[in-house]
Structure 1
Amino acid sequence: MKFTFIKTTRHRTFHHTPIYYDEAKEEREERARRIKDELGIEQEEDTRSTEDRIRGKMKRKIATHFDVARKEKRKSNLRLVVILIGLMIAFYYLFSSSKEWIMHFM
C-alpha cells in the first residue's frame, strides 16, 4: 500500500456523445441531396447544412449583442451629460448665492 502526502490530480477528459444524433439519417439525407443536385431536382427551401444554420444564428446573436451594447453606451453617455448639467447648475447657484451672502456682511 502506497501512502502519499501530496495528491496530484489527474487531468479531466470530456466525453460527449450526442443524444439525438442519427449518423445513418445524416448520411441518407446527404446522399439524397447529392442525387437531387446531380439530377437537377428542386429541393426544399432549407438547403443549408446544420453547420451553416448554426453559424448564421450565432452571427445574428452576436450582432444583437453589439446593438444592445451600443444602446447601453448611449444611455450611459446621456445619463452622464444630465448629471454634469445638474452639477453645473448646482455650482452656479451656490457661487451666486455665496456672493450675495458675502455682500450682505460687507
Structure 2
Amino acid sequence: MRFTLIKTARHRTFHHNPIYYDEAKEERDDRNRRIRDELGLEQEEDNRSNEDRIRGKMRRKIQTHFDVARKEKRKSNLRLIVILIGLMIAFYYLFNTSKEWIMHYM
C-alpha cells in the first residue's frame, strides 16, 4: 500500500461512436477502389472531376451571391427614388398651401 500526498491525474480516454456510419458504403468504396487498382484506372481523373465540380459549385454560389446583391441594390435604389418623389410631392404641396395661407392672412 502506497501513500502519496500529490495524486497524479489518470489519462483520459476518448471514445467516439460515429453517428452516420454506413458499413455497406465503406465496403462498397473499398471494393470499387480495389477494382480500380486491378484495372489500372487512374484516380487523378476522379480527383479532376471532383475539383471541377467543386469549382462549379463555388462559381454558382458566388454568382448567385452577386445576383442577390445586385437585386437587393436595385430594390433599395427603387425604394429610395419612390421615397424622394413622395417627399418632393409633399414639400410642393406644403409650399403651395403655405403660400396661400400666408397670402390669405396678410
TM-score, structure 1 as length reference? 0.59
Aligned to 2:67: 67
Q: Segments of 4+ in structure 1 off by > 4 A?
A: 18-21
Q: What are the superposed Cα offsets for residues 46-83 of structure 1, whole Å, 9 maximum, x if unpaired?
A: 99421221221111111111011101101100110110
Write the distance in 1 (CA, Å) between the matches of 2:56 and 2:33: 20
Cα drift, residue 87 of structure 1: 0.1
Structure 1 residues not aligned, in runs of 5+:
1-15, 38-45
Letter in 1 for 2:51: E
Letter in 1 for 2:102: I
2:32 corresponds, among 18, 25, 31, to 25
Compared CA separation, residues 67 and 23, structure 1 to 2 (3 A) = farther
RMSD: 3.3
Letter in 2 for 1:78: L
Larger RCO: 1 or 2 (CA < 8 Å, sep 6+) = 1
- Identity of matched residues, %: 70
TM-score, structure 2 as length reference? 0.59
Write the distance in 1 (CA, Å) between the matches of 2:76 and 2:58: 27
Q: Which has the higher helix share?
A: 2
Matched positions, count: 83
Cα drift, residue 26 of structure 1: 4.9
